Amino acid sequence: MAKIILSREAYFHNLDIIAQKVGEVSKIALVLKDNAYGHGLLEMAKLSHEYGLTQAVVHNVKEAEVIKAYFEKILILAGYEYVSDTKYNYVINTLEQIEKIPEGTQVELKVDTGMHRNGVAMTEVEMALVSIQKQGLLLQGVMTHQRSADTLSSEWFWQRENFKTVKAEVLRLQASLDFQTPRFHSGNSASTFRFQAFDEDLVRVGIAAYGCLQMDKGLEQPKMRPVMRLVAQKIAARTLLKGEHVGYNATYRSEKEMVVSTYDVGYADGLLRAASNRYTTPEGEQLLGRVSMDNSTFSGERTSLVIFDDVNSYAQAASSIGYEVLVGLHPEIARVVV
């Protein structure tokens, strides 16, 4: 059966680079949302605990409950339901959300500094803090999200200045509203490597930890190693004669007699059809014909075939991004740590 191989060595190598950049392992919060970017929620939680990480970021309570035994603090990005647990901090994304959160819940306020996706407006910070206090919530942090940290432009600096303004406003209101000093954080994977000297309380890393970060030319590109490789098993091999076709709608025509094999991964497993006839594996085997629901055909007759060991190469062939391929990998594919 197809399986996903996870490299402990590559993962720890990536975390070493991140820890060196931010100064302390305690400042690293691993983003584990969406099945740990397809790597396996529980598998990556266990590896993170083994390395010494104490903080994680997830999408919802369901994910948090799966991994709570492995972390001291978990940041929950989407507040649809609230379970009382001192390990959990819930992100506030709108003013309207505040009144729906139970009294005594630990929260972190997200401020929109330019992403224009989630978070209260910069002009609403005081209103939000007053409402948080009135609702009896426990403010633990103030955060934002960078929209262009991996892009060679001035936008990272512009948003960073906006967040400095937010921080100053929060600290100004602290005395009058009488709340503890919250932690401040804005850094995602790409942003981590834009800091000349890291000066925040936390960094939220996902794609960098998994070894798939891509930065614009001219920006620092850390020497990360992909943690995952996707390996498929041969179902059958056959000899194609010159002029014969492969797969649905006969999109591939053999130019010579050749051996081809089908493997046990398809678009139901997360392979994108857009890569059909456009991709070559790390071992030099070509993807032939259209990807089917449960199988795909490649040149050669290897018993075991590495579909990719760097997701970005496969994503590029599909005119996509590594994130999309990773999170689309079926959760029932076995994840094996080596």
Provide the CATH number for the domain around residue 34.
3.20.20.10
Q: Which of 21, 27, 33, 110 is catalytic?
A: 33
Instruction: Print the SS3 string covering the chain.
Output: CCEEEECHHHHHHHHHHHHHHHCCHHHEEEECHHHHHCCCHHHHHHHHHHHCCCEEEECCHHHHHHHHHHCCEEEECCCCCCCCCCCEEEEECCHHHHCCCCCCCEEEEEEECCCCCCCEEHHHHHHHHHHHHHCCCEEEEEECCCCCCCCCCCHHHHHHHHHHHHHHHHHHHHHHHCCCCCEEECECHHHHCCCCCCCCCCEEECCCCCCCCCCCCCCCCCCCCCCEEEEEEEEEEEEECCCCEECHHHCEECCCCEEEEEECCCCCCCCCHHHCCCCECCCCCEEECCCCCCCEEEECCCCEEEEECCHHHHHHHCCCCHHHHHHHCCCCCEEEEC
Asked if residue 249 and residue 178 are part of one domain, the reply reads no
pLDDT band at 289 (very low <50, low <70, confident <90, very high): very high
Whether 51 is catalytic = no
User: Residue 301 corresponds to which tokens in the numbers above?
Assistant: 């007759």
Q: Is residue 266 part of a domain?
A: yes
1 burial type by CB count under 10 A (0-12 exposed, 13-18 middle, 19+ buried): exposed
Last residue within a domain, chosen from 156, 174, 205: 205
**CA–CA separation, 98 and 106 (whole Å):** 12
Structural contact between residues 98 and 129, judged by C-beta atoms closer than 8 angstroms: no
The residue segments making up the domain with residue 65 are 8-205
Asked if residue 180 and residue 116 are part of one domain, the reply reads yes
Structural contact between residues 59 and 33, judged by C-beta atoms closer than 8 angstroms: yes
pLDDT at residue 145, rounded to an integer: 95
- What CATH number has the domain bearing residue 254? 2.40.37.10
pLDDT in tens, 129-170: 999 999 999 999 999 999 998 999 999 999 999 999 999 999
Q: Is residue 12 part of a domain?
A: yes
Q: Which of 62, 100, 134, 248 is catalytic?
A: 248
Asked if residue 156 and residue 72 are part of one domain, the reply reads yes
Q: Is residue 217 part of a domain?
A: no
pLDDT at residue 80, rounded to an integer: 82
Residue tagged 């990719």 (tokens): 308
Q: Is residue 219 part of a domain?
A: no
Residue tagged 């760097």 (tokens): 310
Mean pLDDT, the chain, as a whole number?
96
pLDDT at residue 305, rounded to an integer: 98
**Percent of the chain at pLDDT above 70?**
100
Domain count, the chain: 2
Asked if residue 96 and residue 20 are part of one domain, the reply reads yes
Asked if residue 277 and residue 139 are part of one domain, the reply reads no
- Residue 150's alpha-carbon distances to 147, 195, 200, 227, 304, in angstroms, are 8, 12, 18, 20, 35
Asked if residue 232 and residue 180 are part of one domain, the reply reads no
pLDDT at residue 71, rounded to an integer: 98
Q: Is residue 91 part of a domain?
A: yes
pLDDT in tens, 88-111: 999 999 999 999 999 999 999 999
pLDDT at residue 186, rounded to an integer: 96
Q: What is the mean pLDDT of residues 228-235?
A: 98
Asked if residue 264 and residue 200 are part of one domain, the reply reads no
Asked if residue 199 and residue 117 are part of one domain, the reply reads yes
Structural contact between residues 10 and 227, judged by C-beta atoms closer than 8 angstroms: yes
Asked if residue 169 and residue 33 are part of one domain, the reply reads yes
pLDDT band at 79 (very low <50, low <70, confident <90, very high): confident
Q: Is residue 282 part of a domain?
A: yes
* pLDDT value at 230 more than 90: yes
Asked if residue 109 and residue 242 are part of one domain, the reply reads no
Whether 33 is catalytic = yes
Cα–Cα nearest to 118, from 109, 127, 129: 109
**Percent of the chain at pLDDT above 90?**
96
Asked if residue 275 and residue 130 are part of one domain, the reply reads no
Asked if residue 124 and residue 199 are part of one domain, the reply reads yes
